[in-house]
Amino acid sequence: MRYPLVIFDWDGTLMDSAGRIVSCMQAAARDAEWCELSDDSVRNIIGLGLPEAIATLCPGIGPEQAERLRQRYAYHFVEGDTTPMCFFSGVEEGLGALHGGREQRLAVATGKSRRGLDRIFRETGSGRWFHASRTADETLSKPHPRMLEELLAELGLSASEAVMVGDTEYDLEMARAIGMDRVAVTWGVHVPERLAASHPVYTAHTVPALFDWLQGR
């Protein structure tokens, strides 16, 4: 065990959900009568809170149209879209092994909403693995480090006792802002070169390699 606390991003790090996010955001933009959004532009904002993602994707959008887009995204993600989402292969086994450690704590820091994360926890039974979590709608969005600061305060640990694991520069930069070690994973949405700019202490190219490293193997 390298760190008493491991904090994971969700989308693109633990769950293969980028395809669903892209298709839902594109459908929501059409519903809100905004211009067509490219796959790459949507993938770029995965990890941000939804208001921040919409502002980045749609510069100049007015508040009413932005709210319409937000509502339609929520509809498509929960009800209208059937693009499959599942954990990346090996994630469930890895989390189970980490959770079994006597002194190991696990947490989630995600751009999802609290409602969305809790729904995924219920549907997958994965909430049992985590000692704490923060979502973008109950604190500040990444890359601001407040969600990490709040998790550390809740669990009574310092930044030096924790590591952030993520697939985007937003994950890594919020950890970097408070001097927390960070691990990049390359199977998500940001390319390795972009992740490298945040100086991760380790870059994992496979799920087994990530969990082996976290366990000090």
State yes or no: is 11 an active-site residue. Answer: yes
Structure tokens at 5: 């606390």
State yes or no: is 40 an active-site residue. Answer: no
CA-wise closest residue to 202 among 175, 104, 177? 175
- In the block, residue with structure tokens 């909430």: 127
The torsion defined by the Cα of 22, 28, 34 and 37, in degrees rounded to 10, comes to 10
- Inter-CA distances, 150 with 13, 47, 109, 133, 143, Å: 21, 18, 10, 9, 14
- Distance (Å, rounded) from C-alpha 184 to C-alpha 172? 7
Question: Are 143 and 170 in contact, with CB atoms under 8 Å apart?
Answer: yes
The pairing of strands 86-87 and 15-16 is antiparallel
- Distance (Å, rounded) from C-alpha 42 to C-alpha 58? 10
Structure tokens at 169: 């520069």
Q: For the CA atoms of the chain, what is the radius of gyration?
A: 17
* Residues identified as active-site: 9, 11
